[in-house]
Amino acid sequence: MSESRGISVSVIVCTLDREADLALTVSSLLDQTELPEELVVVDAGRSSGVRNRLERQIGDALSLVYARTSAGLTLQRNTGVRMASGQLILFLDDDVYLAADFIQVVKRVFSGDNDKKIQAVQCCIINQYEDAPAVRIGPLHVPSVPITSLIHRTIAHVFLLPTKGDGSIKASGFQARAADDRAAGLVEALSGCACFRKSAFRDIAFDEALEGYGWMEDVDVSRQLKARGLRAYYEPQAILLHRNSPAARTGSVALGRMVIDNHAYLFRKHRSGRPFETAAFLWSCIGLVMLALLRLDLRKAYGMLASAGIAVSSACDGARHI
């Protein structure tokens, strides 16, 4: 038996009214070369039949832990952490599909870290409607048709918005997400689906003050890890497809408000007083609105502008008191 097979894994999936998507995600778990010991599903949806459907799908393949909570990704994830029993905790969105060796690869990283300095492993996330190369993951074929145009990517880079990159955290507070063309190694920024040692949650937690579904919770956790001297590692061979399901999505105006509000909240929370920090934050807010307008998402841009005044005021006021 390999050393990695002695490491127990709990998979936490937080879900909200995406039963078909959830079933596909679970099917990719059941097809793993090394199964997790436990699946923790934290459900904030309206249907009362999710648990029964999961039990039928999983059978005796692995242990199911099921809980219902109110909606909110950070609340749901914290609930899942308290219920999970594994040494490793893998967080998955409910609309992803894993390569068959995903868990095996992630466990190999942790088992090779003899000093236990790595507290989190970031996987290679392929976003189906943004940066997908031609690839086949299980039964799913992803064509090479990136929808994000060159001008969109250019604006994201110029205005310090989230982009693919070297795994660092930008001056604006957004991440340069480590992606398929980056070599394995230590990173600052986690992005969405990541695997943690459960022991890391003695020192960190998901911030339930984040609004809406908790957008930017990954940035916040990344910065918590960094502040405590805990390391994160990027493993490009652990591949998953994020299918960006349209089901149960937040309305555009509310989404725009949440984007600005959460960005401003985390700016205040993690502000360090470095030169140009406030300017970078304000510059990125302008870029967020520009990108929404370029995509003709006028309602999202309206929501951003509705929150921008308070965000700018709080950022500038905080800068004066550093």
Same domain, 190 and 268: no
Domain boundary among 242, 269, 295: 242
Non-local CB neighbours of 21 within 8 Å, separated by 6+ positions: 94, 95, 243, 245, 247
Q: CA 169, 280, 303, 318: dihedral to nearest 10 degrees?
A: 100
Residue 318 lies in a domain: no
Regarding whether 142 and 100 lie in a shared domain, the answer is yes
Q: 259 with 292, same domain? A: yes
Query: What pLDDT score does 305 carry?
Result: 94
**Does any domain span residue 77?**
yes
My answer on whether 139 and 237 are in the same domain is: yes
Number of domains in the chain: 2
Supply the pTM of this predicted model: 0.90
CATH number for the domain including 174? Answer: 3.90.550.10
Same domain, 149 and 292: no
For position 318, what pLDDT does the model report?
57
Burial of 70 (0-12, 13-18, 19+ CB in 10 A): exposed
DSSP 256-272: HHHHHHHHHHHHHHH--
Pick from 215, 242, 269: which residue ends a domain? 242
The angle subtended at Cα 167 by Cα 165 and Cα 172, nearest 5°, is 80
Asked if residue 169 lies in contact with residue 188, where contact means CB atoms within 8 angstroms, the answer is yes
Q: Are residues 306 and 231 in the same domain?
A: no
Q: Residue 242 carries which side chain, given as an amino acid letter?
A: H
Residues 112 and 217 occupy one common structural domain: yes
Measured CA to CA, the distance from residue 265 to residue 278 in angstroms comes to 13
Query: Has residue 224 been placed in a domain?
Result: yes
Q: Which of 242, 263, 291 is the last residue of a domain?
A: 242
Q: What is the extent of the structural domain holding 280?
A: 252-312
135 in a structural domain: yes
Residue 99: its pLDDT value, please? 94
Binned average pLDDT, 10 residues per bin, the chain of 322 residues:
74 95 96 97 93 96 96 96 98 95 97 92 82 57 57 92 92 89 90 93 95 92 94 95 77 93 94 88 95 92 89 66 48
Domain shared by 180 and 297, yes or no: no
